A and B are shown apart, each in its own frame.
Chain A
């Protein structure tokens, strides 16, 4: 009987010890997994930060001044080439060209187009 109790105590102690070791290894393996994810997350965050910084750089007035306005081929579009977006009516409106308006007397008032006939 005494021997049986002794064996049981040893078994319980061994079981608890094994469980503790198992728990510790699990903690470490989870920590490794977390490390990896953390690293990936941090890398993404850093990349995001860097991209934002690059965006700030290319949208800064000093950068645009250096790169765009200093370029010899850069030209401001003329009024006739400007397309204004009318967001309220969801329409594309071409800016009025004064020269075109003057010469409009030589044009047709309305263009020929097919109309549906309702009966």
Chain B
């Protein structure tokens, strides 16, 4: 009886345990074979942290490898609003340090969120001050910020990137594909407090952006900008542009506009000052366009330098329009027509050439089409087909009216005369390279086509030398070098469609030294006041820029020769 009773209890306990263990084993099997994936994924989420690895944006260098756009570390301030105890006090502390609106901060700090950006990419001193406050609920994340050591220098060419390092203007947007790089990612281990540990389980490293090396030379750019700025201020101009080109290769050595802006504060600059006037603005070139007419006439053997033209003493009727010269002339030779910039003489030459020829050569010189420059926003210009010209067009287009051009097109067209007749494609970027200086892409000079013969170019060159020696461009005469060029003073069109008598575009295009040109320079001053003649306003800018640039290039050349000589002497010893 006693044993039997125990045996029953024993069986009950045994069975209970058996059921319990069977349940445990079953659970174990379930977890191991059917639930493991889900559990391990939860564990993974808890233990590892997915982070996108930001690539370094490529650096932009000038021709001498001086950095024009680089990356520096910047801290971005975020808040965990739920953790901030005294929100009002925190805002009061942050406003004077960050210098931002109280309401903006209030709106952010009072949001019921676990993470919110307050200000991104603040200055190191601001970050230090905020860290010293030791406010719980404020934190920093390191990011890369684009910085431009030269401030306003070449600002329209370089362009700028936004807060997320995406190119927005200039080269920054044109070569964004090369500059931005490719993001990477990694799963990092993290501890129980969710702190990131530098142990990565899986990693796809980021690919840094490629560096871009420009043809622009910082020194030439500085000289050009300094002189342009001076003219812009002295003549109370609305705008101004300058381009310095290597005539034989099409390399853009400098390019600047006024008004300008500091690249480090691009978001604060007005749209007007951010516009790259040298390639975006269209204007009637005026007399500088006469280079096309002169070249066409010589090339087509329509006229020769000694041929004489009667300039009607300053008044000449073309269809129902009366054409004037700024000073009345009688008989002028072909050479003198361009030296004295006679509108009537040029029109008579154009009438001999015919509309189709003037149009053909304007096209050949690159007007009415993109130059192919590697910068965004270039205008094609405006050149009417000769079949739709009005009766007065032959008295307007050959002297630079009824035609729209940009500064780059003028510079490229002038380079045709300087280099012996070739239309070169202008380019700003020399090469693209990786961080180990391995060249990814190299840009070589591109000849678009031959415009005029070398002989014609030489003959036009002599005429353009005459413009500076004894014509309208005397103020462009250099002290130690020869130069050639053409002045231009174009009336602007008023909103009612008439030519203005108060608003002008003063211009000068030229090259130096005249015998073997090293630089082509185009200077455009928009609405200068009180003086407005290209020969008075723009020509002196050419003179100062060309003089200093040539001295610099000569010194640079001498410098390299000296190094080479020293090397040779050392080797001989």
Interface of A with B (CB < 8 Å)? 27-28, 31-32, 34-35, 38, 42, 45-46, 49-50, 53, 56-57, 60-63, 65
A56-B149, A61-B219, A62-B222 known; A31+B70 contact, CB < 8 A: no
| A46 adjacent to B142 (CB under 8 Å) | yes
Minimal beta-carbon separation of B517 from chain A (angstroms): 25
Of B88-96, B191-199, B301-309, B417-425, the stretch lying at the interface with chain A is B191-199
B329 close to A (CB within 8 Å): no
The complex places the Cα of A50 from the Cα of B142 at a distance, in Å, of 14
State the total of A-B contacts with C-beta under 8 angstroms.
59
B199 touches A53 (CB 8 A): no
Chain B residues 254-273 with CB under 8 Å of chain A are none
Contact B222 A56 (CB under 8 A): no
A62 near B152 with CB under 8 A, answer yes
CB-based closest 7 A-B pairs: A56-B149, A46-B73, A31-B197, A61-B222, A60-B150, A57-B149, A62-B153
A79 to B189, CA, bound (A): 67
- Chain B residue nearest to A49 (CB atoms) is B72
User: Which chain B positions have C-beta within 8 A of A42?
Assistant: 142
B189 to chain A: which residues have CB within 8 Å? Answer: 31
The answer to whether B149 and A53 touch across the interface, beta carbons within 8 angstroms, is: yes
Q: A46 to chain B: which residues have CB within 8 Å?
A: 72-73, 142
Provide a sorted-by-A list of 11 A–B residue pairs whose CB atoms are within 8 angstroms. Answer: A28-B197, A31-B198, A34-B197, A46-B72, A49-B70, A49-B73, A53-B147, A57-B149, A60-B149, A61-B222, A62-B151
**Chain A residues with CB below 8 A from B222, complex form:** 61-62, 65
Minimum CB–CB distance for B556 against chain A, Å:
15
Closest to B225 in A: A62
Bound-state CA distance A63–B66 (Å) is: 14
Chain A residues closer than 8 Å to B152, beta-carbon distance: 62
In the complex, what residues of A have CB within 8 A of residue B72's CB? 46, 49-50, 53
Q: How far apart sit A27 and B225, CA to CA, in the bound complex (Å)?
A: 58
* Known pairs A46-B142, A62-B150; A35 contacts B198 (CB<8 A): yes
Knowing A50-B72, A50-B73, say if A60 contacts B197 (CB, 8 Å). Answer: no
Q: Of B124, B147, B197, B219, which is within 8 A of A32 by CB?
A: B197
Task: List, in ascending order, chain A residues with CB within 8 A of B151's CB.
Answer: 57, 60, 62-63
Q: How many whole Å from A59's CB to the nearest CB in chain B?
A: 8
B residues in contact (CB < 8 Å) with A: 66-67, 70-73, 124, 142, 147, 149-153, 189, 191, 195-199, 218-219, 222, 225-226
- CB contacts (< 8 Å) of B153 on chain A: these are 60-62
Contacts of A49 in B (CB 8 A): 70-73
Chain B residues with CB under 8 Å of A32's CB are: 197
How distant is the Cα of A42 from the Cα of B153 in the complex, in angstroms?
30
A62 to B72, CA, bound (A): 20
Q: Which one of B150, B197, B198 has the highest number of Cβ atoms from chain A below 10 Å of its Cβ? A: B198
Contact of A56 among B70, B124, B197, B219 (CB under 8 A): B70
Question: Whole-angstrom distance from the CB of B262 to the nearest CB of chain A?
Answer: 9
Instruction: Check if B199 sits within 8 Å of A31, measured CB to CB.
Output: yes
Task: Return chain A residues, CB-CB under 8 Å to B198.
Answer: 31, 34-35, 38
- What CA separation (Å) do A62 and B229 show in the bound complex? 12
Given contacts A46-B72, A49-B73, A56-B70, contact A65 B197 (CB under 8 A): no
Cα A33 to Cα B473 in complex, Å, equals 72
B147 to chain A, nearest CB (A): 6
Q: Which residues of B contact A56 (CB under 8 A)?
A: 66-67, 70, 149
CA distance A77 to B301 in the complex (A): 57
The residue in chain B whose Cβ has the minimal distance to the Cβ of A65 is B226
Complex formed: what's the CA distance from A60 to B70 in Å? 14
CA distance A53 to B145 in the complex (A): 12
A34 to B191, CA, bound (A): 14
C-alpha spacing A50/B196, complex, angstroms:
26
Q: A61-B218, A63-B150 are in contact. List 6 more A-B contacts (CB 8 A).
A: A27-B199, A31-B199, A49-B72, A50-B72, A60-B149, A63-B151
Q: Would B199 and A50 count as touching, CB distance under 8 A? A: no
Q: Which residue of B lies closest to A57 (CB)?
A: B149
Minimal Cβ-Cβ distance residue in B for A31: B197
A49 to B70, CA, bound (A): 9
| A117 and B170 alpha carbons, distance in the complex (Å) | 76
Bound CA span A50–B73, Å: 8
| A54 CB → nearest B CB, Å | 9
Complex Cα distance, B152 from A63, in Å, reads: 10
Contacts A31-B189, A35-B198, A60-B153 given; does A53 touch B70 at CB 8 Å: yes
Q: How far is the CA of A60 from the CA of B147 in the complex (A)?
A: 13
- Of all chain A residues, which has the CB nearest B196? A35
Distance of A62 Cα from B153 Cα, bound (Å): 7
Q: Which residue of B lies closest to A54 (CB)?
A: B149
Q: Tell me how far the C-beta of B152 lies from the nearest C-beta in chain A, rounded to whole angstroms.
A: 6
Task: Return A36 CB to nearest CB of chain B, in Å.
Answer: 10
CA of A31 to CA of B72, assembled, Å = 27
Q: What's the minimum C-beta distance from B266 to chain A, rounded to whole angstroms?
A: 16
Docked complex Cα distance between A32 and B370 (Å): 58
CA distance A57 to B147 in the complex (A): 10
Look across to chain B and name the residue whose beta carbon is closest to the beta carbon of A35. B198
Give the residues in chain B near A57, CB-CB below 8 Å.
Answer: 149-151
- Nearest CB to that of B154 among chain A residues? A62
Name the CB-closest residue of B to A27. Answer: B199
Complex Cα distance, B196 from A63, in Å, reads: 41
Shortest Cβ distance from residue A35 to the other chain B in the assembled complex, whole angstroms: 5
Distance of A45 Cα from B142 Cα, bound (Å): 13
Shortest distance from the beta carbon of B386 to any chain A beta carbon, whole Å: 46
Would you give the shortest CB distance from B296 to chain A, in whole angstroms? 41
Distance between Cα atoms of A38 and B142 in the complex (Å): 13
Find the residue from B149, B151, B197, B225 having the highest chain A CB count within 10 A. B149
- Nearest Cβ on chain A to B7's Cβ, whole angstroms: 27
Q: Give the Cβ gap from B59 to chain A, nearest Cβ, in Å.
A: 11
